[in-house]
Amino acid sequence: MGFLFGALFLLLSFSKAAHGGTLPLATSNSTTTSPSSYTVFVANSANNRIQRLAGGRCNIFKGKWVYDPSYPLYSFGSCPFIDPEFNCQKFGRPDATYLKYRWQPFSCNLPRFNGRRFLEKWRGKKIMFVGDSLSLNMWQSLSCMIHSSVPNAKTSLIRGDGFASITFLDDGVKILLYRTPFLVDLVSEKAGRVLTLDSINNGNSWKGMDMLVFNSWHWWTHTGSSQPWDYIGDGGKYYKDMDRLVAFYKGLTTWARWVNHNVNASQTKVFFQGISPTHYEGKDWDQPPRSCLGETQPYAGFRYPAGTPMAWVVVNKVLSRIRKPVYLLDITALSQLRKDAHPSAYSGEHGGTDCSHWCLPGLPDTWNELLYAALFS
């Protein structure tokens, strides 16, 4: 147990470390003016060594949300790939202002997403999103964004149990999804379902990709009937439970070893999607006892009151030690401001209030704009 407490202490200490990060983008003096009835929503995103390796001047994760009437980038009715759980407008959401916000970095402009250019750059390539339903959210978003640029392109959609792919046939670009909420293996044994923190046999399915976009955290906190495992396995021992941040740290370290041993950096670009926040508790933005239900505008403040989630600290700790180049899409701080962007009661598949996932069109489109900026700037 001493190791567990020691590891958690290291994580807590790491959260106090200073971070800085940059990505080279052309600066611009142009600004976007929002209607007088709207507020500019600002975020300061802590960043890390992964971004600093780019050596540029612009931190694309530090900026503000601005009202832009040219958004969204596509309509819910024009994209054939959106699952009901994300299709908020189709399932009755009455407001649409949340669709009109664009992320504006402080010291540069993001390049406008161009699906035609994306397909040309990745012609004949395979892109895989690996993770949980937040990966599904981002995978569908990217597919919709590309489709809006080439609406007449021939596509092939395959959906299976834990696997899906969309192929843009004219360019031979495959965008795949591999569902594995923990990245490490969840296996059935005599004792029951075991989450194995030191095993990652799933990784055999990720080899041979030209781009990998990883994500995990959403399921690590589940308890009770929604917990998909009975035991945590680590080093040949079974634990009924473990501090979830320590477990996440151990599992993500196993993933990092997989990247170090299996990724050829000259052939495969690797991204980590970052920690997607939830908005179930209004106290996080100083409005208890509210939730995301009924929220129609971003949080109007400079710093999100709840602060940086500890899962973000774990991700940065692991990525700071990885040997292969992995780019962190540091979406946490900018997404924390978007308490207005969840399906809430307007999901076609989830009962109750969903403050975990995001409407499409919506916030995941910004995540893909940031991905696009990292690839094309």
Alpha carbon distances (Å) from 9 to 2, 43, 232, 248? 11, 27, 21, 14
Q: What pLDDT, on a 0 to 100 scale, did the predictor assign at position 40?
A: 61
What does residue 51 show for φ and ψ, rounded to 5 degrees?
-70, -35
DSSP 8-state class, residue 61? T
Q: Map residue 84 onto helix, strand or coil.
A: helix
Q: Quick check: 200 and 164 in contact, CB under 8 A?
A: no
Per residue in 76-88, pLDDT tens? 999 999 999 999 9
Question: What's residue 56's pLDDT?
Answer: 55
Q: In 54-120, which ranges are E strands?
A: 63-67, 101-105
The pLDDT tens digits of the residues spanning 293-321 come to 999 999 998 799 999 999 999 999 999 99
State the pLDDT at residue 237: 94
Q: Which two tokens stand for residue 245?
A: 């941040």
The pLDDT, as a whole number, for residue 220 is: 98
State how far the Cα of 157 lies from the Cα of 155, in Å rounded to an integer.
7
Residue 38: which of 292, 296, 287, 285 has the closest Cα? 296
Q: Which of 271, 329, 307, 295 is nearest to 60 (CA)?
A: 329
Q: How many CB atoms lie within 10 A of CB 154?
A: 10
Q: Backbone phi, then psi, for 138, in 5-degree steps? A: -75, -35
Q: Could you tell me if 164 and 176 are in contact, meaning their C-beta atoms sit under 8 angstroms apart?
A: yes
Beta sheet of 41-43, edge-to-edge order: 41-43, 63-67, 101-105
The pTM of this model reads 0.89
Residue stretches of the chain with pLDDT short of 50: 1-7, 9, 12-39, 46-55
Residue where the block lists tokens 């790939």: 81
Using the Cα atoms of residue 78, residue 84, residue 87 and residue 90 in order, give the sign of their dihedral.
Answer: positive
Tell me the catalytic residues.
133, 354, 357
Q: Are strands 173-179 and 126-131 parallel, antiparallel or unpaired?
A: parallel
Contact criterion met (CB below 8 Å) for 124 and 169: no
